[in-house]
Amino acid sequence: MNNSKVILHHHYKLFKPYGYLSQFGSNAKHEQKKKFISELFPFENGTMPIGRLDEDSEGLILLTTDGKLSDEINKGDTEKEYYLQVDGDITDIAIKQLQKGVEIGFEGIKYNTQPSKVRKLDSIPEFPKRSKKIRDDRHGPTSWISVIISEGKFRQVRKMTSAVGFPTLRLVRVRIGHHHLGTMQMAEVIKVESLL
């Protein structure tokens, strides 16, 4: 007789809003007054985000109660796509530099990013308004680009655009692997059958 239990895991997609930390809480004193994604939905005990978005970034986060699956997605070469609004009218030269890879700093060490898929977007993507206003057009032009990477160092995409002279004003992750943000609304949570 087989007594092994089948553990049913829970999986979610979340549109993380600006200003939230991609975690469920913190013991750090400087983070006690911060907002956490646990405030957005009554997630089951043991739910964890797969990867993170920093506090001033928005977009798709996958969550699961399956630790093995979380490790598998984090350690693999899963593509992540970001839409970025950058300061200035980005040039073809800057896009080519980003495609080839640029040097950024990570924990005090210089690091060359892997080649990335980068393109200028033809139109401004339609995202919900952000809670904190982005500077307006009186301060000069901005442009939107798509950046697809498989790695994910701390604030990597922001550091990449700064390295080529076009700092990021807004960053929204729109895809992880085959999971898309689609028409999700800010702070919306969708329960999904599987993340594979």
Cβ distance 169 to 179 under 8 Å? no
Q: How many CB atoms lie within 10 A of CB 136?
A: 8
Annotated active-site residue 66? The verdict is: no
53 to 36, 59, 139, 192: CA distances (angstroms): 12, 8, 27, 20
Residues 6 or more apart whose CB falls under 8 angstroms from that of 4 comprise none
Enzyme catalytic residues? 54
